[in-house]
Amino acid sequence: MNNKRSNYIKNKQKAQYCKHSIIADASKNVDTNNPKSKIKLNTFVGIRDVNNAVGADYFGITAAEDYIAKLCMTEDDQIIFPTMADKKMWNSLSSDNIKLTHDVMLVSPLRRDIKKYIFEEY
């Protein structure tokens, strides 16, 4: 996908399913001289925080830490792969050419503490 000379992406985008693909659009704008523009596969293997110097893997974090880590990755314009229950890592795609939408959509009813946090942050 990082090779613009290949017709692979062009042929894939002819299909209705891939016509508006964020990944395919990003691959069309790859500059082979700029490594940041290439599409990269990232592997997230754990969280390191102030309480645990060695970090925690996927089975050692709470659901809130899982959500916040994935939220941070999404805010960093990374496309997160589905998390497999038996794996201790997440995968994501990133590139300077991948730009995700960062709008906030609030759906009622929200728990009061979550609503307060969202309104404080945005």
Read off the pLDDT of each residue in 38-57 and give the average, rounded to a whole number.
Answer: 72
Residue type, 77: D
pLDDT confidence of residue 105? 65
Query: Is residue 67 domain-resident?
Result: yes
Domain count across the chain? 1
Note whether residue 82 is domain-resident. Answer: yes
Do the domain assignments include residue 74? yes
Q: What is the pLDDT of residue 103?
A: 73
Which residues constitute the domain of residue 69? 37-121
CB crowding 104-122: b at 16 or more within 10 Å, else e: eeeeeeeeeeeeeeeeeee
pLDDT, tens digit, 9 for 90 and up, residues 81-92: 887 767 777 789
Question: Is the backbone of residue 29 left (phi > 0), alpha (psi -120 to 50) or beta?
Answer: alpha
The overall average pLDDT reported for the chain is 78
Residue 9 resides in a domain = no
Examine residue 97 and state whether it is found in any structural domain, yes or no.
yes
Report yes or no on 25 lying in a domain: no
